[in-house]
Structure 1
């Protein structure tokens, strides 16, 4: 039941954010599959905090020029995080942590 609730939340988020939309598959092409990723999150005492489910596309099956032209993957390097934390500690800057449920950028793609 907990995992079903987690998958329902993920599907609701996908629909709310209009992350994906159904389209007709061009003839001669195979669809790119998806898979569910399940993760149990724990609180600072080691107790189960929540169950998270993410539906992800099997990007390794995509082919450049057929399934996509450009890659949009804004990520931060661990070194950058470490630098910002060091600067915050040195200068006494306040830090805040937050958990973002869905960070899809909704970029418009032609593919």
Structure 2
């Protein structure tokens, strides 16, 4: 077993949100999403995968289906399979979000 330092995956781009795969197996997939300024990602959805969204740094606005909330460091939210997800940076500070899905989404294959 070799742990990964997630800080090595934190990179920002002035033009768009940036994503980096943390882990990927046949049964689970996890990525970091780095947002700054008014950047966002989504809407995303996968009919065959549930997802957990966790905020590692910063503050984001999260929309899951028709529900909306603001989240700062440490909260997590469940995204049921088939439900649209949108994440937007919600402060002047950059944000880092971890998204983990099981099984891996079809688009990661």
Which range, TM-score by smaller chain? under 0.3
Determine which structure has greater relative contact order: mean sequence separation of CA pairs < 8 Å that are 6+ residues apart, divided by chain length: 2
Higher fraction of strand? 2
TM-score (norm 2): 0.23
Larger radius of gyration: 1
TM-score (norm 1): 0.23
Higher fraction of helix? 1
